[in-house]
């Protein structure tokens, strides 16, 4: 069985080439086991780089917290924390286009059916200044280390496989070849 520390190490090594990764960070008064940030800036210029026609930024933030068991109550508390974190981490500006906040609950003791329902039904999206300063979407995932399953809301389905570790693959860093059958939801 994979432990929380092993899982965090594997995810850290998967994200490290593209993200700035921090361990044991405090954000919005909450302690997170892992915080990863990605920023992409695109701009179009006219003849010289000093003459910009437009520029925009896309951000992705990953927050991971390990707990014993995901219940409906812990999932609701985690979702409320993610909504609160949006106000602290997302900095809308004229060049801000989008931010995707991915919150991951890693359960060492399993996920209850009610917790799974809470995860799968969660939705949160926020627009800034009528979309003139961009938007933010929140993905919510729950990883069950005992059953090797990953559950997510609709927004999180696109990245669900990236956070799955198939049984026996704990030592293979960088693999995202978890079979689709091990991904539930």
The beta strand positions in 108-163, using DSSP E, are 125-127, 135-144, 149-152
Instruction: Look at residue 46 and tell me if it is in a domain.
Output: no
Q: Read off the tokens for 110.
A: 């399993």
The beta strand positions in the chain, using DSSP E, are 20-27, 30-46, 48-67, 96-107, 125-127, 135-144, 149-152
Residues 104-154 have pLDDT tens digits of 999 999 999 999 999 999 999 988 888 778 899 999 999 999 989 999 999
Cα angle, residue 37 at apex, residues 154 and 34 outer, rounded to 5°: 80
Number of domains in the chain: 1
pTM of the model: 0.84
Residues 62-87 have pLDDT tens digits of 999 999 999 999 999 999 999 999 98
Instruction: Look at residue 45 and tell me if it is in a domain.
Output: no
Residues 161-181 have pLDDT tens digits of 999 886 655 444 333 333 333
Give the residue numbers spanning the domain of 58: 4-40+51-182
């Amino acid at each position: 069985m994979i432990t929380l520390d092993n899982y965090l190490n594997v995810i850290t090594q998967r994200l490290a080439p593209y993200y700035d990764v921090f361990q044991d960070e405090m954000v919005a008064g909450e302690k997170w086991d892992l915080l990863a940030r990605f920023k992409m800036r695109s701009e179009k210029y006219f003849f010289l780089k000093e003459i910009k026609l437009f520029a925009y930024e896309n951000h992705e933030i990953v927050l991971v917290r390990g707990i014993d068991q995901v219940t409906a109550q812990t999932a609701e508390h985690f979702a409320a924390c993610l909504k609160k974190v949006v106000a602290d981490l997302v900095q809308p500006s004229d060049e801000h286009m989008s931010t995707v906040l991915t919150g991951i609950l890693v359960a060492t003791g399993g996920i209850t059916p009610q917790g799974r329902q809470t995860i799968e039904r969660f939705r949160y999206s926020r627009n800034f200044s009528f979309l003139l300063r961009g938007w933010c979407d929140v993905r919510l995932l729950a990883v069950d280390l005992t059953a090797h399953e990953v559950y997510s809301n609709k927004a999180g389905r696109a990245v669900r496989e990236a956070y799955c570790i198939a049984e026996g693959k704990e030592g293979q860093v960088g693999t995202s070849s978890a079979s689709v059958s091990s991904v539930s939801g």
